[in-house]
Amino acid sequence: MSGVGKGIATASIGKILQSRGFRVTAVKIDPYLNVDAGTMNPVEHGEVFVTEDGDETDQDVGNYERFLNVNIYRDNYMTTGRVYQTVINKERNLDYGGKCVEAVPHIPLEVIRRIKRAAEKTKAEVTIIEVGGTVGEYQNVLFLEAARMMHLKNPSDVLFVFVSYLPIPSKIGEMKTKPTQMAVKELNSVGIQPDFILCRAERPIDGPRKEKIAMFCNVNKEDIISAPDVNNVYDVPLNFEKERLSEKILKKLNLKAPKKDLNDWRKLVAVSQKAKKEIKIGIIGKYFETGDFILSDSYISVIESIKYGCWRHKCRPIISWINSDIYEKDKNKLKELSDYDCLVVPGGFGSRGIEGKISAIQYARENKIPFLGLCYGMQLATVEFARHVCGLGDANTTEINPATKNPVIHIMPEQAEKLAKKQYGNTMRLGAYPCVLKKGTLSRALYGKNKIFERHRHRYEFNNNFRERLEASGLVIAGASPDNKLVEIIELPKSVHPFFVGVQFHPEFKSRPLLPHPLFLGLIEAAI
Ligand code: GLN
């Protein structure tokens, strides 16, 4: 089922094999008809993770990048829509030479072609392929068929790891293996026999249950791997190694490797467990609620980036999700923001909750609470500054009010054309672009260099017609595109505010556990 931890399992298996000296990459298969994740609502599908080359992918790709500390590119992500689109285009181009083009074998063959291309382009020695969805559902059957075909062709090069969930019903108090047994049966029916079963559960799986699964699922007992819930997902590779998983995988693949080297990782996990000093961070967003449940998946990269910043400073992050709507209903509630050591306003779209975010930013600015605005957060910080410091009362982004007299944030010209033609898919300003940092600014000091590359995902931008006016009132344009046409970073001088930075890009996509992003480090330092 979704959320069981396939992404973390994939990333962690990658990590432990990487620690044995192999070049590893990971591929994500999403069984949706959407061509990419860019058009999916974050509440439904979690964060849209943007790659260096501008693909709008699933949040698991973010996990792979963070665990493996490598960039994952467009080739490593596929959806049903993307695969079908290629096959249909090829058919239209007569690439199949007049053959009858069929779901089987042409779709699985295209899947295999994509997997191989991803491995070749990244020069990976081991490629971990995560098939999303649930065994037995209609949607991922053709991907499983591709997996079966790969195994048939290269039996000694392809291994199957099955991630299963073992419930422990509270009224019974015993871990149940039956759903796993049935799921493996289902998997067998499409011609796949798992080599390993990862047993996700609240608690570690014990010997008797390992035996049961081994017998009923036709897997060696030592290949039933315990994967209990953890407080910290970075623990997972270490837990896998307690079960000697890398050794077992390499043996089956007939690969020789040096001893594992997970020392840096181990140290990081130790810091995250031992850190005592608490830092209270408020994330003011809106994609939290789904029915009666609260999710934070929409902001996972932001959350992880905050954690890395805290751990590097040997602190423990206490993160609260704040729904910006509440400040629209009751401005008095803004006072609660004083409880936080720092505030983050992440990216977003549309008008819901926007005035609440603007009020929160004003509060952070006036009360000198360290603040980091990401994409929309930067745009709204600009609106806030224009309204309350420059006195442009109706200042706004044209995303919210197209008729404002003071459109301090407006649509990028090429984006307006795309929207007019209803070209929504993968058309934003996406992926990494260069940005030049201004001497003497906080951002420049934090990055320690004058040119950076950061990842973008937006249609609106800072309106240069207001640049002088805002600068005259004290706003610092700390970073811009090399031609100086696009404002990429705004900040306030340290003499006015301890840390007030807004960035048009998404630094959260480039922060890694062992390589925390400088802006998040700066934010946490200011918070401390
Ligand atoms: N909605 C804004 C834009 O399109 C910001 C996008 C974002 O935060 N990713 O420019």
- CA–CA separation, 523 and 227 (whole Å): 34
Of 375, 454, 458, 497, the active-site residue reads 375
Ligand 1, pocket-test mutation among 455, 457, 463, 509, most atoms within 8 A of CB: 457
* Closest ligand 1 atom to Cα of 347: 8
Token reading at 417: 């054309």
pLDDT of residue 199: 98
Proportion of the chain above pLDDT 90, given as a percent? 94
Sign of the CA dihedral running 95, 99, 103, 104:
negative
- pLDDT digits over 112-133, tens only? 999 999 999 999 999 999 999 8
- Distance in Å, CA 519 to ligand 1 centroid: 19
Residue 451 CB coordination number (10 Å): 11
DSSP assignment, residue 338?
A: G
Q: pLDDT category, 138, cuts 50, 70, 90?
A: very high
- Ligand 1 neighbour 460 (Cβ under 6 A): yes
3-class DSSP state of 314:
coil
* Closest ligand 1 atom to Cα of 377: 8
Q: Is 40's pLDDT higher than 90?
A: no
Q: Looking at 299-428, which runs of residues are DSSP E strands? A: 316-323, 342-345, 371-374, 396-397, 407-411
pLDDT of residue 1: 80
Q: pLDDT category, 46, cuts 50, 70, 90?
A: confident
- Distance in Å, CA 399 to ligand 1 centroid: 9
* Closest ligand 1 atom to Cα of 415: 4
Cβ atoms 517, 308 nearer than 8 A: yes
Q: Which of 494, 489, 480 is nearest to 435 (CA)?
A: 480
Q: Which of 46, 126, 48, 110 is nearest to 75 (CA)?
A: 110
For residue 120, CA distances in Å to 22, 256, 458 come to 14, 21, 31
Of 106, 497, 506, 517, the active-site residue reads 506
- Distance in Å, CA 439 to ligand 1 centroid: 27
- pLDDT digits over 157-206, tens only? 999 999 999 999 999 999 999 999 999 999 999 999 999 999 999 999 99
- CA–CA separation, 85 and 89 (whole Å): 6
Q: Whose CA is nearest to atom 1 of ligand 1?
A: 349
- Ligand 1 neighbour 73 (Cβ under 6 A): no
Q: Which of 76, 58, 75, 153 is nearest to 109 (CA)?
A: 153
- pLDDT digits over 217-249, tens only? 999 999 999 999 999 999 999 999 999 999 999
- Distance in Å, CA 456 to ligand 1 centroid: 9
∠ Cα 37 346 485 (to 5°): 90
Q: Whose CA is nearest to atom 5 of ligand 1?
A: 376
Ligand 1, pocket-test mutation among 459, 504, 505, most atoms within 8 A of CB: 459
- Ligand 1 neighbour 479 (Cβ under 6 A): no
Single-letter code of the amino acid located at 145: E
Q: In what order do the strands lie in the sheet with 460-462?
A: 396-397, 407-411, 460-462
- Distance in Å, CA 499 to ligand 1 centroid: 22
Say which residue the tokens 């089956």 belong to. 252
Q: Is 44 a catalytic residue?
A: no
Q: What is the mean pLDDT of the chain?
A: 96
Helices (H), 35-177: 42-45, 59-68, 80-92, 103-121, 141-153
- CA–CA separation, 17 and 200 (whole Å): 20
Cβ atoms 328, 297 nearer than 8 A: no
- Distance in Å, CA 25 to ligand 1 centroid: 30
- CA–CA separation, 86 and 82 (whole Å): 6
* Closest ligand 1 atom to Cα of 346: 8
3-class DSSP state of 271:
helix
- pLDDT digits over 255-290, tens only? 999 888 899 999 999 999 999 999 999 999 887 666
Instruction: Report the DSSP pairing between strands 77-79 and 24-30.
Output: parallel
- Ligand 1 neighbour 347 (Cβ under 6 A): yes
Token reading at 339: 């409880």
Helices (H), 397-501: 413-420, 442-447, 467-472
Q: Is 506 a catalytic residue?
A: yes
- Ligand 1 neighbour 349 (Cβ under 6 A): yes
Q: Is 45 a catalytic residue?
A: no
Mean pLDDT of 470-490: 98
- Distance in Å, CA 348 to ligand 1 centroid: 6
- Distance in Å, CA 379 to ligand 1 centroid: 8
- pLDDT digits over 363-376, tens only? 999 999 999 999 99
| Per-residue 3-state assignment (H helix, E strand, C coil) for 459-512 | CEEECHHHHHHHHHCCCEEEEECCCCCCEEEEECCCCCCCCEEEECCCHHHHCE
- CA–CA separation, 41 and 441 (whole Å): 36
- Ligand 1 neighbour 399 (Cβ under 6 A): yes
Q: Is 406's pLDDT higher than 70?
A: yes
